[in-house]
Structure 1
Amino acid sequence: MNGFSIKELCCVFCCPPCPGTIAAKLAFVPPQPTYAVIPEPDALPAGGNGRVGTGVLGRWKLHLTDRADFQYTQRELDCIEVFMTKSSRGNRIACMYIRCAPGARFTLLFSHGNAVDLGQMTSFYLDLGTRINCNIFSYDYSGYGCSSGRPSEKNLYADIDAAWHALRTRYGISPENILLYGQSIGTVPAVDLASRYECAAVILHSALTSGMRVVLPDTKKTYCFDAFPNIDKVSKITSPVLIMHGTEDEVIDFSHGLALYERCPKTVEPLWVEGAGHNDIEQYSQYLERLKRFITQELVSQNSN
């Protein structure tokens, strides 16, 4: 999310705008791709006809470019599986499954923040999953990384649907073992999916209430041309929700986290990180402590009742 001048705000909100216009102007900053997904030859079928399959269920290899933060060891690469799937809107979506903790009960379906792609997030995923004893499944939005198409609000919803179904069908993960994790703009698809499907839990990290409320904080209602209306969808979530927000967030004000917490019917104790901004919550010790307690104690206790 970026700051806007009065002139730019008038252009966005007085055209009249549509949700896609607001979404494009406020949210999407795809980086130059930091990785490639390379198909590997599949084993030939019995009595093979000499053709090689590289479809959705084929084998793929992760190749990191020079733009990636760092290259991974072979041991780390052996824990990472990448593949392409297709969304209902026809875009090819890059997906990544990281076996951080073999035998782990839960898998995080992680919707990352803006201006990053899977290549940049992999090291964070490896570390996070290991520390909280969860496997992690993530994907790139349309127009990000190796995913085709262009970023848009409608594509966000189709992208996470494709990821959800790939996680369930390809790996056989049941909804009661999936945690939906959304960070910043990633809270938009996470909230939308959670409002339609029940899962183990939802984690909202630096979430926004809606696009208009980010740039016009005094907005009290959701207009038909607003984008990303999380505030109207969280009340439909039936799974436990953990909300985390920095009190000094300079991009999405702390008030957004409070508003979502008040609107959501199944929230657990939130994490308000004193002094944290938009991109550094995970650097505070409370972050891992709260995640661990939520996953290893609260969810387990709830499921045993």
Structure 2
Amino acid sequence: MNWIKRIILFLLVAYAILCAGLYAFQESVIFRPRQLPADYEFGVGEEMTLHTPDGVPLNVLAFQKPGAEGAILFLHGNRGSNRRSLRQTEGLVDAAYDLYLFDYRGYGKSGGAIVSEEQLFADAQIVYDSLRARYAEENIIVVGYSLGTGMASYLAANNHPRHCVLAAPYASITAMKNLWLWMVPDFILKYPLNTRENVARANCPVTVLHGQQDELIPFAMAEEIKEAAPERVELIPLPSSGHRGVILDPLFTETVLRLIK
């Protein structure tokens, strides 16, 4: 019987170490920033720097046109930066609305590092507020892809934009954790990023595009988001698209452009 007790003790210790490690290092697990040199030049658009209350510079790449009455704010996915966002949103550069690409802390040319969900949301709000000072809020479209859908849905729930577009969204990071680490308690997670809950509270229509071949975020999560507010959410399935294919599908660009008209 002693060997059984030793095995149980070993498993309990291993479980405690796993939980403690995930809590302490979850930023490294969840966020995979792609940084750019401080002297990197995009060659297009106009760079803007916004500063957080604690002095961290946030890099925004803007494409402004004379007479534009509205703006598209794009929040990119993980392992991304404004350099990758350029390729993903090239079909929106010449839209009637101005286009703004935003790098989170530690991504691209933005400084600092992500340390809390509240900070992540607050930074997104700073960028949104800078647009609200320039454009009528009913002419602001918020677009999020993958990781960025958590912040985009937060902005939709706490402001009044014209529309919110979510490409390849997750129901929550908690739900994503439970796909692989269901044995780890939810309270350990510092970044629940509850997209489903945000959509349920959204102050604008929401359009969800999701690939039915998505190998990272199950299509069922898009359906769950739709169920959170059936009357407010338009779900557009992309039958042949995987996770990365959603943002490159022509229907993504067509959908955003349709919302401007």
TM-score (norm 2): 0.81
1:139 equivalent to 2:102? Answer yes
Change (3 A) 1:156 1:266: farther
Matches within 5 A, 1:14-163: 14-15=19-20, 21-22=25-26, 24-33=27-36, 36=38, 63-64=41-42, 72=43, 77=44, 80-99=45-64, 102-130=66-94, 132-152=95-115, 153-163=117-127
Provide the C-alpha distance between the structure 2 equivalents of 1:145 and 1:12, rounded to a whole number of angstroms: 33
Offset at residue 265 of structure 1 (A)? 5.3
Is residue 208 of structure 2 the alignment partner of residue 246 of structure 1? no
Q: Distance in 1 between matches of 2:25 and 2:54?
A: 18
Contact 1:117 1:145 (C-alpha < 8 Å) held by counterparts: yes
- Pick one of 247, 269, 272 that aligns with 2:237: 272
Q: Which runs of 5+ in 1 are unaligned?
A: 1-8, 38-61, 65-71, 297-305
Paired with 1:109 and 1:249, the residues of 2 have a C-alpha distance of: 24
SS at match of 1:151: coil
Out of 123, 142, 151, the position equivalent to 1:180 is 142
Closer, same or farther: CA 162–174 of 1 in aligned 2, 3 Å: same
Cα root mean square deviation, aligned: 2.8
Shift of 1:276: 0.6
TM superposition shift of 1:12 = 8.7
Q: Give deviations 1:219-252, integer Å, cap 9, x for gaps.
A: 7xx9444421222222111201011110111111
Query: How far is 1:16 from its partner?
Result: 8.7
Unaligned runs of 5+ in 2: 1-13
2:118 aligned partner, one-letter code: K
Matched, 1:255 2:220: yes
Aligned length: 242
State the shift of 1:114 in Å.
1.1
Question: 1:237–1:266: 8 Å Cα contact kept in structure 2?
Answer: no
Q: Percent identity?
A: 24
Deviation for aligned residue 1:21: 4.9
User: Relative to 1, partners in 2 of residues 1:10 and 1:229: Cα closer, same or farther, differing over 3 Å?
Assistant: farther
Q: Which amino acid aligns with 1:14?
A: C
What CA distance in whole angstroms lies between the structure 2 residues aligned with 1:103 and 1:268? 31
Per-residue deviation at 1:268? Answer: 4.3
Contact 1:112 1:186 in 2 (8 A): yes
1:216 to 162, 178, 183: 178
Q: For the structure 1 residues 102 and 225, does the alpha-carbon distance in structure 2 shift closer, same or farther, using more than 3 Å as the test?
A: farther
Tell me, in whole angstroms, the C-alpha distance in 1 between the residues paired with 2:250 and 2:50.
36
Matched, 1:203 2:165: yes
The CA distance in 2 between the partners of 1:286 and 1:139, in whole Å, is 22
One-letter amino acid of the counterpart of residue 41, structure 2: H
Kindly provide the CA deviation profile for residues 53-74 of structure 1, in whole angstroms up to 9, marking residues without a partner as x.
xxxxxxxxx724xxxxxxx4xx
Give TM-score scaled by structure 1 length: 0.70
The worse-fitting range, judged by mean Cα deviation, of 9-18 and 275-284 is: 9-18
Structure with greater proportional helix content: 2
Task: Name the CA shift for 1:151/1:231 in 2 (closer, same or farther; >3 Å).
Answer: same
